[in-house]
Amino acid sequence: MTQPRVVVLDYGSGNVHSAVKALVAAGAQVELTADRQKVLDADGLVVPGVGAFAAVMDQLRAINAGQLIDQRLTGGKKVLGICVGLQVLFDLGVEHGLQTEGLGQLPGVVEMLDSPKLPHIGWNTVEAAAGSVLFEGVEHERFYFVHSYGVQNWTLDAMGAFLPPKVTWAEYGSKFVAACEVGPLAATQFHPEKSGEAGIRLLTNWVNSL
């Protein structure tokens, strides 16, 4: 059986090498690159992200990542966002009063979590969506989060032919989107590459779906 080819998008984000290692452990043939044709041709594309929403968006725009992701999704080719890689898929990020346009793949706003203690760092459980592909076999496991911002309101009922979206929630002061699956697009607010065996299983589920 041929290993699925996965590109981890290399746009200057930190923490990419741990994602590469975890995807290899999950059974993928992995390349870290921003080469346009390789990004478009891969079976799966992973968009990692750490740091501030605005800074990540600047880096993504510099390599025209929005168009690449659009083109993949239009062709039904899978994309997985991780952490800020989830956040930038939404319409807008609001950090320290600064509003930054996201990639707009999903409707919604990334805002500061409603919690007395930030950032949210550490292990947390999730409420896995019914029928989730990502969480099959790890519905009741804990995953590793590092963030102060998140999507706290989900407004998308459908996206074209992809019905219905599968939304997984977590809670830290208030509920926020921990993961979502909409057609070929999936994303996690937590770091599966830092989430031990449960994270590798989740990535394996994604790799096996390619």
- Name the CATH code of domain 5-208 (choices 3.10.450.40, 3.40.50.150, 3.40.1280.10, 3.40.50.880): 3.40.50.880
pLDDT score, position 134: 98
pLDDT score, position 29: 98
Question: From CA 142, how far away is CA 122, in angstroms rounded?
Answer: 9
DSSP the chain: -PPPEEEEE-SS-SSHHHHHHHHHHTT-EEEEE--HHHHHHSSEEEE---S-HHHHHHHHHHTTHHHHHHHHHHTT-EEEEETHHHHTTEEEEEETTEEEE---SEEEEEEE-S-SS-SEEEEEE-BPPTT-STTTT-TT-EEEEEESEEE-----S-BTTB-S-EEEEEEESEEEEEEEEETTEEEESS-GGGSHHHHHHHHHHHHHT-
pLDDT score, position 161: 52
Q: Is 49 exposed, middle or buried (0-12, 13-18, 19+ CB in 10 A)?
A: buried
* Angle at the Cα of 133 from the Cα atoms of 127 and 137, rounded to 5 degrees: 65
Kindly give the parts of the chain with pLDDT less than 50: none
Are the beta carbons of 162 and 183 closer than 8 angstroms?
yes
The residue with tokens 């019914």 is: 130
pLDDT score, position 157: 77
In this structure, is the dihedral angle defined by the CA atoms of residues 28, 5, 34 and 186, taken in order, positive or negative?
negative
pLDDT score, position 158: 64
pLDDT score, position 162: 59
- In this prediction the pTM is 0.96
- Tokens at 202, concatenated: 């989740």
Of 36, 103, 107, which is closest to residue 68 (Cα–Cα)?
36
pLDDT score, position 164: 86
Are the beta carbons of 16 and 49 closer than 8 angstroms?
no
Question: What residue type is 174 in one-letter code?
Answer: S
Name the residues annotated as catalytic.
83, 191, 193
